[in-house]
Structure 1
């Protein structure tokens, strides 16, 4: 505000001076005009005087006119004088005003200089103010920073205090854990050895291991692992220790050891390394599995005996099944021989019957051959080729319809997508026939079997659904086992030896697939096979 006020006054004074100068010039022009008018009046008066000297008949009138003119002249002279004086006065006023203007101009210049000086001072003061503001901001920021540092220090102090408290708690917990570990170490029902990770020297041993191997604690301590008699193979023990040093972990599922008194002990040996404070410690856990091995051996022996018994029973069943087609063949041969060639049609009929029964025998023998260990693992028998799924299922349904005729079971397929599988046509055909045959064997008279196909995430899902007698819940996990029949007391009509579904599972797996079954008693079953499209696991 101090800077702008002198500037406005100066401009007002300059404007007033200009107005006065204009007025003075206008008055000067009026004065000059009045002077010219006065001069003209005097000349006119002189002419009138001259005119007065003319003939007398005009004299009186002219005298009057002259007097009037003289009166006018005097008045004009007075007016001219007054105007001259006024002009003079105005000139003086103009000069005074010019003087005032000059003074005002000097004053305005002084004011301008003063204003400039004040502006300079104001700028300097603004600079100072800004510097003071910057200094104040710096001080404020420093104060804020110091406050932040103080807060951080307080937080650190609190954290240190909390850490100290936590450290005390951790130390207390560590002592408690150490006591617990020691109690567990002393009372554990597994042998525990602690080793120095650099030298392999035994640093501690628990009572269970002393009792298990018959050595006292003093006989273990300060000896290296391979110097204790129980680990008799010194080189093997050294090699194992090197592996443990490099990998940090070592495990033997079944390690035979010998006690101090020569008794053989089967143990599971697991060793790993961990940090105990600043030291790396190796802990070896030694579990006596002698009893477990004995029980496993008994269990495995029982399983093998049960499987062998199942084999014997199934082979006996198969033998019984083989007798039927052999008897039929024998009967047809006898009939053909008795005919002595009189009726060729009868002979052909007998040969067709014989051919059918031979195929039946061949099927039984094929299934029996697949249960032998060599045949069961012989995956290179599979010959992979591209197979049209729709065509394959069509062939299988055509072949299975005669099997369903006796029970009047309807066999149908849903919509089958146009897909190509990579696999062995003969084995995939057998797999599907076995599934449908199983649904017929255990299906209800006048029942239905449906084959459903769908594609799910690069796999083909084939389901065989029936409305037969169903399978017990406890039997479901075993239906794909060899020689297993869900209902041993149910007549299969001489067509099952308990291998059909096991063969289904084997064929599915060698093609990279899986099988599953679900069932509800007296409502039916669903057997599902999932096969990959395009590529097989075996290939």
Structure 2
């Protein structure tokens, strides 16, 4: 009888392994999705209208450069990649010493303003050079943004040299600009581009202070204006408010300016909201890719280990039967058949978990509630778990709910109760009790209580995370993702999952499911 069951289960295991092969193909689709995300990042890099360099954060070697930068400085790709930044003559003023590079490594951010840069052809251009350190696939890289600010510098110089020219260029400049009194922060004048950007009229602006359009405290604004006045041209990032109430990230380039003997500040405003959003998306995308890689590694490692143990047991038992089939008595053979049977059951259970996770993640219509007879289903699940348990405990069910249909997903309810009951049997040698009640809100309440080893209090909050297993699990086998699946299934029923436990005394699992219509 056991031999027949074992043969049937082995056939089922083969079918399940075939299904696992298909699931591996789906894992490949996930990797293809990762590749697609990397392609999007590459497209942003290739199409950016700013020069971008990528450096090795340890050595300072250039690992990549985008087309805009290559066109800007006149070097070809091969002349840049593989060289240390300070080896390239065009960047000698930006990274004049390794001390500067060390400063970047330590601070993970550095900015150079008004930096003269000489192209390969010998032309001089003014650039802004901003470097940030990021972590990609556990390796630190330096992302350098290089912006040509030659036109802006020419405009600023012209404003300094001629008040009359200033007014012409100030008004016609397509970039928003403000004239500010450094003493009190009053807005003296604005150009048409600024009126269009902020949504205020000239008359409204002339009654406003810089603090009226900034989300920063007034004290912080005046502190920065003093720096601008004393140190010359400066850069800062703020969040400004428009007339509509909308806020936006901006960068301000501010220089001292004298008009008819009056010391003023001229501020050029650039809206960097889209750039900030793109940077956030890139960081988020990178984090997601790292998370996918980590979860993939954990999943493969865990599942491989869990499959190896029962399969090794099956192989060993089959080999012994092949060798001693003619000499062993029936009792010895039955013992090995029982071991094969148990190992197949363990592998089948693991495959069920993997299949449910895969189906949940790939099917939009995975949650399929129907009217089910709850009590017969629970009794069936209890009998299944008792039949395969190696211990002699009893599972005692008490119910105070009517024998009627309930609108639930039968597959999920079966998996939820199978997981919790099998855990209770696995970690306890005493009887298990299950009570079924209705709450005052007519919710269905399952309470599964064991008198087993219990769970450390500080670890209970981690039990619902994928792959987590309690530190006192001992030799008991498991993948660590069973309870995380249970939690997702309870959530799909819009229910609650509660766990109470005391080490050495046992664990109580409470599941509360609403009465679904």
Q: TM-score range by the shorter chain?
A: 0.3 to 0.5
Q: Taking structure 1 as the reference length, what is the TM-score of the superposition?
A: 0.44
Q: Taking structure 2 as the reference length, what is the TM-score of the superposition?
A: 0.45
Comparing both chains, which one has the higher relative contact order based on Cα–Cα distances under 8 Å and sequence gaps of 6 or more? Answer: 2
Higher strand fraction (1 or 2): 2
| Structure number with bigger Rg | 1
Higher helix fraction (1 or 2): 1
